[in-house]
Amino acid sequence: MSSVDWRSLSLLQVLALVLASCSLSETVEQQSKLAASTAEAAVLVTDAWLSGAAPSHYASAALQSFAGTLGDAGRQVESASSSDPAKRDALKSSLSQLSNAASRAESAVKAEQRAQAAQAVQELRAGQADLATAYRQYFAPRR
């Protein structure tokens, strides 16, 4: 999701009036889900490139775009206000980790370095696991 277009603007106007507090946790939830989906797509694209099923120019362009989406999600989560900043920061750092891994995958594809690409897939997998844990903790019911 890119920064501001007219739809999210009108969305913001409505939400600002009605759901001022809710919208922020919604952003965190939405961005986390988007990031999980995008990270998986990054894994699939890199794997496809490794098996020769995706041409390099496509794989690198896709990974660049996915890294951008992941980085954006991280920034949106970071700017969300939260009652528990520590959990939010954990979520944020897992998103940055994913964005960086996707960027590394992109450079590996561009340089035709298969070993690095395989390494980046591992990092993406690790980032996905971290994201899942951080997400669970963020939305865990408080006692």
Binding site for other proteins (CB under 8 A): 1-2, 5, 7, 10-11, 14, 33-34, 36-38, 40-41, 44-45, 48, 51-55, 57-58, 61-62, 65-66, 69
Of the two residues 37 and 113, which places its CB atom closer to other proteins in the complex? 37
Report the alpha-carbon distance of residue 60 to residue 29 in Å, rounded.
28
Min dist. Cβ of residue 137 to other proteins (A): 20
- In angstroms, give the least distance from the CB of 138 to other proteins: 18
- Minimum CB–partner distance for residue 106 and other proteins (Å): 12
Closest distance to other proteins from the beta carbon of 38 (Å): 7
For other proteins, the closer of residues 86 and 133 by Cβ is 133
DSSP 3-68: S--HHHHHHHHHHHHH-TTHHHHHHHHHHHHHHHHHHHHHHHHHHHHHTT-S-HHHHHHHHHHHHH
φ and ψ of 91, to 5 deg: -60, -45
**Residue nearer to other proteins on the CB measure, 26 or 84:** 26
What residues contact residue 36 under an 8 Å CB cut-off, 6+ apart? 128, 131, 132, 135
CB nearer other proteins, residue 7 or residue 143: 7
